[in-house]
Structure 1
Amino acid sequence: MVEKDGCNSSLTAIRVLRVSLVDELEGWIDSLLEILVSRELFSRDDREEVLCQMGPRARVRKVLDILECKGEEAAKTFLSISTHHKQEAHQTHSKESSRDQHQFVEYNKVKQKHKDVLRRRSESMLFYNTRHGEKILFSEHYVNLLLVDGHQGLEIKRHEVLTFGQKRLSLQQKLAVHRKIAPAELFLSANENRSVKKVLVTGVAGIGKTILVQKMLFDFGGKKDNLAFDFIIHMTFRDLNLIDKPTNFRELVLRKNRHLAKELDNILANDNKLLIILDGFDEFKHYRSCDVDVFVTEPDEDAEVVEVFGSLMQGELLPNASVMLTSRPAAINHIPVGCIDRFVLITGFSLAEVQDFFLRYFQDNALADRMFAVVATNELMLTLCYIPAFCYIVCCILKESKDLCGESPKTMTDIYVQYLVALLRSHTQARAETALQAQRAGAIQQLSDVVLKLGQLAFKKLMEHQTLFYCSDHDVAALEGCSLVSTFLDKTVAQEPGCTEEVYSFAHLTVQEFFAAVYCAVTNHPLPDALQHSSSSGETSNDGHLDLFNRFLSGILSERNANLLSRQVGLSFHKEKVDTYRQRMIRELKMLCENGANILNHLHCLFEQQDPSLALSVLPQTLRVNVSDETLSQMDYNAIKYFLNLTKGKISELDLTGTGLSSEALRDIQPLLLRCESLWLGENNLDMETVQVIADVLQVSDSVTHLGLGWSNIGDEELLTLSCAIRVKKKLEELWMEGNRVSYRGLLSLSDLTPNPLKKVVAIWNDLADTEPESVCAVSAQESITVGFTDDDMWEAWGKWVFKRCEDSSNEKLVTVLHKVCNISVCCLEAQWAKTFYKKLSQLIKSRIECCTEDDMCKKLKKFENVLNL
């Protein structure tokens, strides 16, 4: 304040300080006004006059104006009150600042302690057969994984381990389309207008989802500030499965993070700086029930664990927190719709990273190079090595065996059998060196007993869709005291108030499937009826649950693996069971070839046998190979080539509809395409390079008479390439290309090929909007070219084919087919075939809705039901 001179010093001060007083008093003018009234400096009328002013600054000015009329004493008292009030406010602010500073220090202390804990928990790499006392540093063995943006198709109809191969290689070649991303970039949006809070990381079994999580925890704990979070909370769904009573999010966090207790309120209050990682959604026993309609909104609100998870994912609980979810592809369509901001696909190793893995595993350049050279000569082993889990298994075989047992592995079963033998050999080697022959025979008998007990556990739980086994389970109790068990089973301790219980799981789901197959192969247990795909409709049809089990079973019952397991593990095989299995395979393969039903898993089972006499015994009257609606991998193509290369003569039909074809894949099987009479390649995105492969086949083949390219995104330029190829041999009789981008101009390129050799060209649902008179007349004059629904007999057969596909499809695939065939015109519905077809289709949709448990899928199906019932 200024010095006060003369009788008007306080009023003078107010006038001089008027501007600064407005700035100082605007924040607390209302409380100051109440003080002035209570001290009787201002009347109630004065207060009302002040409060009528718009805004705090105007109110301060009105107070100062009124003071001018109140005289010197009022001005003096006002200055005293305002000075005292300002000092109190400053002291309060200082105390709050001190308290905030203390809280900040404590918050940072806990933050650093948490990072230290995460670092310690993640510093060791846990392989499937890590022994006690064996510490493998994560920093020395981690190999980069390839992560790409993009939504993986939800239609996984078989074991997802086998959807990998060719798709993995093509992704590496198309990184311009799929942007490669680093783990630190997972929550950074390429589009600044869209925030990324919920990220789903998906990939096939063994591809490295859990390793990616460990990498993020390791880096965060190691002070690599590449993630903009203060805290990361890590949970696994295997742990969440152990909770069978109501809980809350706070308790879930503190189960393994008691060191966060004092600061947990602050951590959760700052949820915009919190990342929650939930690993292994596909292992969650409630994964089908996560789209909950009962929510919790507070961290300490009790509910079932599935309701806590559902609330978190749907933003009802901790709405500002970031969440990363990992899952195998088969389960992700059960994640609540609309809550995922970003889909990320792990595609495993590149070739360079496979070599890097070998170097880190063997810790010796020369040895690593020699072992990689062994693998590089085996196409199957090299393909599997792109999947980190299998890369480890292959390295384990090479290390433990110093070489490969017998001949080089040719199938997946070969690799797992050698993996089992290598681990068992390592386990018993020390004893075998000093034991007598009789003792060694007893040791082998003991090994076979343990393998069978593991197999019984694996088989029983696989049939029940279970991957976790409690210590109280009879089959688990039978393994008590066996040191070998820890090689194949992981143990978790479930801690609940008042009790603890040990919970086991196989180190990998594929290991469980392998042991289950061993048990089924060598015991009196009857062979399962699930060798072929289920033909029943509904959500569970063709879900691939036992596909890999059946392939392992076939490989184990092969002569070479049966001999190896008998010799090295002491397992005995019944000749009658082997013969029964082989005869059933021949019978079913013959039937599927003649019926044109989906045959892919049978071809894999045949491939696992590696017995040419089996394929030669099939001898179907008509050789039809249908592998449609399966996203084919290189391993799939290997199985197809193996069978067809052993057969002779023409292939009546090869159906590759909706298989994710590429030009590389078609080139690979081009010699087989030349033998086909009917070749169906529709519902694949066929670029010009792929169309050129088809054209090369048409120019050479004397066999191809029917070609299907429906909904394959071809246009006039691609059709021109095909028409030139057709003119060379003039053998093609029917060309189906419905649902494409062909215009009348493109159809004109076929005018000289109809009706000879092309007796039928189907071009409905194309870009036929060209209304130039010459074009319309030229096309309509060609009776072989079908641009509408005219021939009842032809469309009736088409309807039966489509309906059969719909019956065999899962709901997800059914919806994609319905999108294509429900483009109904009035003239179409007048035809009798259409009335019958769409009526049956409507009944099928209705039956699917009745047994559908997913709300979003029900809505999609009801949409098509409404279309068909108009």
Structure 2
Amino acid sequence: MTTAQEALLETLEDLGAEDFEKFRWYLCQQGALEGFQRIKRCHLENASRENTVDHMIQTYSEHAVTVATVVLEKIGRNDMVKTLSKTKIGTKGKSVKWTWFTWGSSLKIKRFQHEYKIVCSRVWMATLLKQIYTDLYITQGGSGEVNKEHESRQIERASWNSNRTETIIRKEDIFKVVPGRDGETRTVMTNGVAGIGKTVLTQKFTLDWAEDKANHDMDFIFPFTFKELNMLSEKEFSLVELIHYFFSETERAGISTFESYRVVLIFDGLDECRPPLDFNNTDFVTDPTKSTSVHVLLKNLIMGKLLPSAHLWITTRPAAANQIPPAFVDMVTEIRGFNNLQKEEYFRKRFQDEEQASRILSHIQSSQSLYIMCHIPVFCWITATVLEDMLKTTEGGKLPTTLTEMYIHFLVVQAKVKKVKYDDGVETDSHWSPDNKKMIVLLGKLAFEQLQKGNLIFYESDLTKCGIETRTALWYSGVFTQIFKEEKGLYQDPVFCFVHLSLQEFLAALHVHLTFITSDVNLMSKSTKWTKLFKCNIKHVHRSAVDKALQSPNGHLDLLLRFLLGLSLEANQKLLQGLITNTQTSAESNQKTVEYIKKKISEESSAERSINLFHCLNELRDCSLVEDVQQFLNAGNLSTNELTPAQWSALAFILVSSGKDLNVFDLKRYSQSEEALQRLLPVVKVSNKALLGGCHLSESSCALLSSVLSSPTSRLRQLDLSHNDLLDTGVRLVSEGLKSPHCSLETLSLSGCQVTENGCRFLAAALAFNYHLTELDLSYNHPGDSAENDLNSSTLFLPSRLDHSGTHRLKTFIRKYSCELEVDPNTVNRTLKLYDNNRTVVKMSALASYPDHPDRFQLIPQLLLRPALTGRHFWEVNWTEDVFIALSYRGIERKGKSIGCAFGYSDQSWSLKCASDKGYSAYHNGRKTMITASTYSHRVAVYVDCPAGILSYYSVDTDNSLIHLHTFDIAFTEPVHFGLYVKSGIVSV
């Protein structure tokens, strides 16, 4: 067997003089050897090949071959990497696992440490992965189906719900027995947006196993990446050959079968698989020694045909999750990244100075867009890199508050580092040298063209099309390591990618901007040749980008659009002075763009799409729409009846971006209408509980809510639709949403929704597919006996409230709760006269001769009605002149002229004042609320739902329709009574 010294000497002798000189140079460079220490330059300055080998053995001992492999990759001699790795360098008397750990995994572990250092650990002073790893937020759940939203929107949703209680899974328990499932979990799919930490998670999992810290029961863990597997798409392997190819130490150990071992196979980056996996018409392979294509091997492993005893862990971005049929996945998990506490922990670890850390945290928290993006560990690193540099180089300067500013500063920091570290410049020199500008221009072109195709990883052919040679790309990845990096496989040719998708989107936007100002070509236009013939303004580029982003079915251009608009600001262009040599933007052009975006907001029917347009306005420093609505909200006098479509969108944006009060969404706080629900649907989607009861909703609203229930991003757990005329057709639509595998609704209230036998059958069928629902309220409907039996069997384990009290329950809206009331004569004030069998009350100047009674109102012209109320009740009143229509506890004061005796002036009662000359106003505890009504009527309806804590007043129109006036939200503590305070006029009850 060859010794390490012999293998190294043979390798160095095959190097030409120029490559050998580069080899020695890398050995002397601090930080170039992926975690290994450098050799002092004086030892290698004139060293021969033999002396170089001796120094390597002395410095690295058993890791010398690993270091040689790293250096050979850096100088582009992958052919020699393959030769060296296949050289048999034996180990004696060691276990299989220890052999894998000390020889083969040493390279893997060093790579893992380096990868984490490149992506994350720079912000923690380059500490090794095993010392700094922070557990990510891994949750169980999901269906593994496709999510087509842009990942920035998914990040926002995850951030809004980061404090929700969910099933958290530790990485070491990923394959443990799951309650409710027979046996162990074989195949796990882990979803997560780009940069959230999927790869680092699998690497730490492998590292902990290799160091005997976790998963001691596993004999082998074999981590693969789809980047590496893509390079083998035209070759054939058996499963055993594939493992031997990547992990040659298993072949050296004489292992030719893996059925008797406990094995974990990790496949990282399903979204990077080229072409995507297609499970239609798959050839079955069960023999692990039979050769076939890598894709066929993968599919048979996933289907359980090959090595069924093995555990599989597949990671992917959400958009590619549907490549694997759900039947082949035992458990779906999701990485949510950092929650709010972990964000703070991250920056406090990064910045040891407590005052500095507090200032940075305060700044990030003040910008909603930055704080949301810090949900991603990689963005925390970008932010820390920028702010660290700015705090060193500027005194009291303005820190970036928008995404565009942050990424411009990040680009500038990298250009400065290159200038000082590689070009022997100083920090005061211009960092936009011709080489730097050329590098950014080419990387921007690559970013844009590959983004158009949806690619995040690039091969040699992709680079060549953009005018980048492989050697140039290797140089870029070695210099701009924090922007563009080479992904090294063990033995394959290099592939490249940007450190994070958002960096690719930023450089793509920069490419669009630079292309226009240098050549007048609008890359966002459908046909670029016409832009050369006709003079084009930057506003036309922006309009094209807005239109193209709105037309995108999955929003994949949303972030690019935000960056492109941000680059048009003069302040941002000054930051890139030297890279952007001339500008074609002006305040006037930007204002035109602002007006165009506002116009699109007012036209856009999708509130979801409108939210990104508000982010765009934020990048352009225009917050006028949001500020107007926010001002009304803060003053407490927002009249939703007068909101324009654009203002409705602004309200939705404010609510979903606030990060507050998303636990409960109550539609009645804004408007009881279907239009309001449609405009505020994004808020429903990110809320835990939606209160939509008594909001005049119909079948069309049910279609909207069905889409929410079936959305993979919906967080809705409780839905109250009671007291809306949904009918059976509406319930059918809601039932379709309940059937969705994405639906996680736990409580559904359909009380008083005019549901009959047919609607209940739709619900019964849906509940056969839904295992999350734990409570169903169908009271005050008419299900009929047979449908009720169907429901009872479907909801066997649910607390359900059903009744079939007759067809009177099917009266329109809340009138179904009409009740018979009578005046309590013992409460009537002596200035009130009763007529028509006590159904008419008249205010008199003379006193009536009623007997004394402790319940009688002595000085205020009031009365109570009976009986006491505890459920749902509806009552209509005709009035003239000046009347208070009230709800009160029995214990309200009766004596004296104290203000506490009057309805609405204490905490014991609530009232609506109806005045012929002043309209309507609501009172409680002495506080008056003016009501702006679209119609005016001398007939008022009152509805109280004691269990739900609702008291609502309605004006009754000439066509008998109900127009909402005001709603009180009340936590009732005892039975209540309707009451009347007749200052003047006549009341009929």
When the two structures are superposed, what TM-score results if normalisation uses the length of structure 1?
0.60
Q: Are residue 374 (structure 1) and residue 359 (structure 2) matched? A: no
Equivalent residue in structure 1 for 2:163, among 172, 175, 187: 172
Q: Secondary structure at the match of 1:326?
A: strand
* Residues 442-841 of structure 1 mapped to structure 2, 5 A cutoff: 443-471=432-460, 473-475=464-466, 477=468, 479=472, 484-492=479-487, 501-524=493-516, 525-528=521-524, 529=544, 531-532=546-547, 542-565=553-576, 567=577, 569-575=579-585, 583=592, 586-587=595-596, 589-591=598-600, 593-594=602-603, 596-597=605-606, 599-600=609-610, 602-604=612-614, 606-612=616-622, 649-652=642-645, 664-665=661-662, 673=670, 678-680=675-677, 690-691=689-690, 708=701, 710-711=705-706, 718=720, 739=734, 745=752, 768-770=782-784, 775-782=805-812
- The answer to which of 189-198 and 315-324 deviates more is 189-198
Q: Are residue 311 (structure 1) and residue 300 (structure 2) matched? A: yes
Equivalent residue in structure 1 for 2:274, among 285, 288, 294: 285
User: Who is 1:145 aligned against?
Assistant: 136
CA distance in 1, matches of 2:404, 2:779: 46
CA distance in 1, matches of 2:111, 2:813: 73
CA distance in 2, matches of 1:689, 1:211: 31
CA spacing shift, 1:744–1:660, aligned 2, 3 Å: farther
User: Who is 1:187 aligned against?
Assistant: 175
Equivalent residue in structure 1 for 2:286, among 289, 297, 307: 297
CA distance in 1, matches of 2:479, 2:622: 37
- The answer to which of 446-455 and 386-395 deviates more is 446-455
CA spacing shift, 1:266–1:609, aligned 2, 3 Å: same
Q: Secondary structure at the match of 1:211?
A: helix
CA spacing shift, 1:223–1:338, aligned 2, 3 Å: same
CA distance in 1, matches of 2:494, 2:804: 80
Equivalent residue in structure 1 for 2:150, among 159, 178, 186: 159
Q: Are residue 199 (structure 1) and residue 188 (structure 2) matched? A: yes
| Paired amino acid for 1:261 | E
CA distance in 1, matches of 2:666, 2:433: 45
How far has the Cα of 1:292 moved from its partner?
Answer: 5.2
CA distance in 2, matches of 1:316, 1:391: 42
User: Who is 2:77 aligned against?
Assistant: none
CA distance in 2, matches of 1:116, 1:436: 38
CA distance in 1, matches of 2:597, 2:682: 27
The superposition leaves residues 467-508 of structure 1 with CA deviations (integer Å, 9 ceiling, x where unpaired) of 333346153536465564444221145787xxx744322222
CA distance in 1, matches of 2:226, 2:452: 21
Q: Secondary structure at the match of 2:415?
A: helix
More helix by share: 1
How far has the Cα of 1:159 moved from its partner?
Answer: 1.5
How far has the Cα of 1:122 moved from its partner?
Answer: 2.7
- The answer to which of 673-682 and 388-397 deviates more is 673-682
CA distance in 1, matches of 2:547, 2:229: 34
| Paired amino acid for 1:252 | L
* Residues 113-132 of structure 1 mapped to structure 2, 5 A cutoff: 113=102, 116=106, 118-124=108-114, 125-128=116-119
**Percent identity over paired residues:** 21
CA distance in 2, matches of 1:459, 1:704: 45
User: Who is 1:356 aligned against?
Assistant: 345
CA spacing shift, 1:781–1:152, aligned 2, 3 Å: closer
CA distance in 1, matches of 2:465, 2:686: 57
How far has the Cα of 1:378 moved from its partner?
Answer: 3.2
The superposition leaves residues 206-240 of structure 1 with CA deviations (integer Å, 9 ceiling, x where unpaired) of 21111111210221122113353111101111111
CA spacing shift, 1:651–1:409, aligned 2, 3 Å: same
How far has the Cα of 1:389 moved from its partner?
Answer: 1.1
The superposition leaves residues 453-474 of structure 1 with CA deviations (integer Å, 9 ceiling, x where unpaired) of 2101111222233333334615
Q: Are residue 421 (structure 1) and residue 416 (structure 2) matched? A: no
How far has the Cα of 1:424 moved from its partner?
Answer: 1.9
| Paired amino acid for 1:546 | L
Q: Secondary structure at the match of 1:235?
A: strand
Preserved CA contact (<8 Å) 1:739 1:766: no
| Long gaps (5+) in structure 2 | 1-90, 525-543, 710-715, 736-747, 756-776, 786-801, 817-989
How far has the Cα of 1:257 moved from its partner?
Answer: 1.7
The number of aligned residues is 616
| Paired amino acid for 2:259 | A
The superposition leaves residues 794-828 of structure 1 with CA deviations (integer Å, 9 ceiling, x where unpaired) of xxxxxxxxxxxxxxxxxxxxxxxxxxxxxxxxxxx
The superposition leaves residues 828-862 of structure 1 with CA deviations (integer Å, 9 ceiling, x where unpaired) of xxxxxxxxxxxxxxxxxxxxxxxxxxxxxxxxxxx
Q: Secondary structure at the match of 1:239?
A: helix
Preserved CA contact (<8 Å) 1:717 1:746: no
CA spacing shift, 1:390–1:707, aligned 2, 3 Å: same
Preserved CA contact (<8 Å) 1:115 1:220: no
CA distance in 1, matches of 2:345, 2:226: 31
CA spacing shift, 1:186–1:206, aligned 2, 3 Å: same
Preserved CA contact (<8 Å) 1:152 1:345: no
The superposition leaves residues 689-710 of structure 1 with CA deviations (integer Å, 9 ceiling, x where unpaired) of 8445x67x98xxxx99999465
Q: Secondary structure at the match of 1:324?
A: strand
CA distance in 2, matches of 1:672, 1:433: 63
Preserved CA contact (<8 Å) 1:202 1:344: yes
Q: Secondary structure at the match of 1:575?
A: coil
When the two structures are superposed, what TM-score results if normalisation uses the length of structure 2?
0.54
How far has the Cα of 1:518 moved from its partner?
Answer: 0.4
CA spacing shift, 1:153–1:466, aligned 2, 3 Å: closer
How far has the Cα of 1:104 moved from its partner?
Answer: 11
Q: Secondary structure at the match of 2:386?
A: helix
CA spacing shift, 1:780–1:468, aligned 2, 3 Å: closer
User: Who is 1:848 aligned against?
Assistant: none
CA distance in 2, matches of 1:410, 1:235: 39
More strand by share: 2
Q: Secondary structure at the match of 1:769?
A: coil
Preserved CA contact (<8 Å) 2:782 2:805: no
CA spacing shift, 1:716–1:291, aligned 2, 3 Å: closer
| Paired amino acid for 1:593 | S
User: Who is 1:793 aligned against?
Assistant: none
| Paired amino acid for 2:399 | S
User: Who is 1:30 aligned against?
Assistant: none
CA distance in 2, matches of 1:569, 1:778: 75
Equivalent residue in structure 1 for 2:384, among 382, 395, 404: 395
CA spacing shift, 1:673–1:742, aligned 2, 3 Å: closer
Preserved CA contact (<8 Å) 2:549 2:557: no
| Long gaps (5+) in structure 1 | 1-101, 624-636, 727-734, 749-762, 787-870
Of structures 1 and 2, the one with the larger relative CO (CA 8 A, separation 6+) is 1
How far has the Cα of 1:510 moved from its partner?
Answer: 1.9
CA distance in 1, matches of 2:446, 2:373: 27
User: Who is 1:83 aligned against?
Assistant: none
User: Who is 1:260 aligned against?
Assistant: 250
How far has the Cα of 1:197 moved from its partner?
Answer: 0.5
CA spacing shift, 1:152–1:374, aligned 2, 3 Å: farther
How far has the Cα of 1:774 moved from its partner?
Answer: 9.2
CA distance in 2, matches of 1:555, 1:508: 19
Q: Secondary structure at the match of 1:199?
A: strand
CA spacing shift, 1:543–1:393, aligned 2, 3 Å: same
CA distance in 2, matches of 1:467, 1:261: 33
CA spacing shift, 1:558–1:443, aligned 2, 3 Å: closer
| Paired amino acid for 1:330 | A
CA distance in 2, matches of 1:783, 1:601: 34
Q: Secondary structure at the match of 1:123?
A: helix
| Paired amino acid for 1:612 | D
